[in-house]
């Protein structure tokens, strides 16, 4: 079934897809997002990538280096908050605009228990709500967090500088410049895994405040979610999500998974990344029409329609 689809990654400063841009996958070209609450530089990598843009590299040097040789994808980013926010309020995870309770595959409950136990104990949410969500504190959910220096401003905009550029082999846990002392004062462990466990405690999170104007870098990755198959492969358990979604009523629909970093208290969104599986037939049809000059997209390439983000 997966060969019917092409993957496309888009990102933007909020939920509105009209503000999103296509993200180049497995390249050194970072996507800059200037939002109301955060300035972000984003890079996405997907192993064995099969998607759009069509000339995208199939892999990245990132996956040839430890500890990423078994990982399936990475969302790496640097960001500067426009206002300070507590570590308990800044969350990272997935959410949806519509109910998914009737589309959850058999075994989802077991899969979620495994994720909570083995991967991200801080993850919480309600997948049966009208607007389902699964969030965890960013400080305990992100695999890597690096604290940088205060960012500079140019013509009223945040300048991420060289520290905000993507790195070929990934971001390392730690700190740079005066960020080293800043991190030490929080008491957060130097090791990423230990920092994640440390941040599960609310009292520890209270010691860390994401500071206005300071540059942070982070990486979120794992070997469990295969975006080419839309399959979840957990320790001792495998769940083919696409095979369930591709039922009679969904055969002509595109499928997406949305990641968001936001303030859970105010709802203010820092950035959004959407992974969408587009039906290959629709993409090829759009390309053919573009080549004939029969669409408004004179430059060619697939453009999402109103129902593409179901």
Mean pLDDT of the chain: 86
CA–CA separation, 200 vs 202, rounded Å? 6
Question: Which has the closest alpha carbon to 13: 274, 215, 275?
Answer: 274
Structure tokens at 170: 């990934």
CA–CA separation, 226 vs 231, rounded Å? 5
One-character DSSP codes across 35-58: -SSEEEEEEEEETT--BSSTT--S
**Helices (DSSP H) in the chain: which residue ranges?**
108-114, 138-141, 179-186, 192-198, 202-205, 241-245, 280-292
Question: Which has the closest alpha carbon to 234: 154, 153, 120?
Answer: 120
Q: Is the pLDDT of residue 248 over 50?
A: no
One-character DSSP codes across 164-214: GS--TT---SEE-TTHHHHHHHHT--SSHHHHHHHTTSHHHHTT-EE-TTE
Reported confidence tier of residue 195, pLDDT bands at 50, 70, 90: very high
Q: Is the pLDDT of residue 27 over 60?
A: yes
Quick: pLDDT tens for 165-190. Answer: 555 568 999 999 999 999 999 999 99
Reported confidence tier of residue 273, pLDDT bands at 50, 70, 90: very high
Peptide bond into 67 cis (omega under 30): yes
**H/E element, 134:** strand 133-137
Reported confidence tier of residue 82, pLDDT bands at 50, 70, 90: very high
Q: Is the pLDDT of residue 252 over 70?
A: no
Q: Is-contact 39 82, C-beta < 8 A?
A: yes
Q: Is the pLDDT of residue 112 over 80?
A: yes
* Pairing outcome for strands 5-12 and 255-263: unpaired
Structure tokens at 224: 């469990």
What share of the chain has pLDDT > 90, as a percent? 62
Quick: pLDDT tens for 117-129. Answer: 888 999 999 999 9
pLDDT for the residue numbered 306: 42
This prediction has a pTM of 0.88
């Amino acid at each position: 079934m997966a060969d019917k689809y092409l993957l496309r990654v888009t990102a933007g400063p909020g939920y509105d897809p009209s503000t999103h841009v296509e993200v180049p996958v497995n390249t050194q070209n970072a996507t800059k997002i200037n939002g109301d609450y955060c300035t972000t530089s984003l890079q996405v990598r997907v192993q064995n990538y099969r998607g759009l843009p069509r000339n995208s590299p199939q892999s990245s040097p990132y996956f040839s280096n430890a500890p990423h040789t078994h990982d399936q994808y990475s969302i790496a980013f640097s960001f500067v908050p426009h206002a300070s926010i507590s570590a308990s309020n800044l969350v990272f995870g997935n959410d949806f605009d519509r109910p998914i309770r009737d589309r959850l595959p058999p075994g989802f409950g077991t899969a979620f228990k495994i994720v909570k136990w083995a991967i991200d104990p801080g993850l919480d949410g309600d997948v049966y709500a009208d607007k389902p969500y699964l969030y965890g504190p960013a400080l305990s959910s992100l695999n890597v967090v690096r604290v940088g220096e205060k960012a500079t401003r140019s013509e009223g905009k945040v300048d991420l500088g060289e520290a905000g550029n993507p790195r070929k082999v990934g971001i390392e846990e730690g700190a740079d410049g005066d960020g080293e002392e800043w991190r030490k004062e929080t008491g957060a462990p130097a090791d990423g895994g230990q920092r994640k466990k440390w941040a599960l405690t609310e009292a520890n999170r209270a010691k860390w405040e994401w500071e206005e104007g300071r540059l942070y870098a982070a990486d979120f990755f794992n070997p469990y979610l295969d975006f080419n198959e839309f399959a979840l492969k957990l320790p001792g358990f495998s769940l083919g999500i696409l095979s369930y979604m591709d039922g009679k009523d969904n055969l002509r629909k595109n499928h997406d998974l949305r990641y968001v970093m936001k303030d859970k208290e105010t709802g203010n969104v820092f950035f959004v990344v959407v992974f969408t599986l587009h039906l290959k037939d629709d993409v090829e049809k759009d390309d053919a029409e573009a080549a004939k000059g029969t669409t408004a997209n004179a430059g060619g390439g697939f453009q999402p329609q109103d129902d593409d983000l179901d």
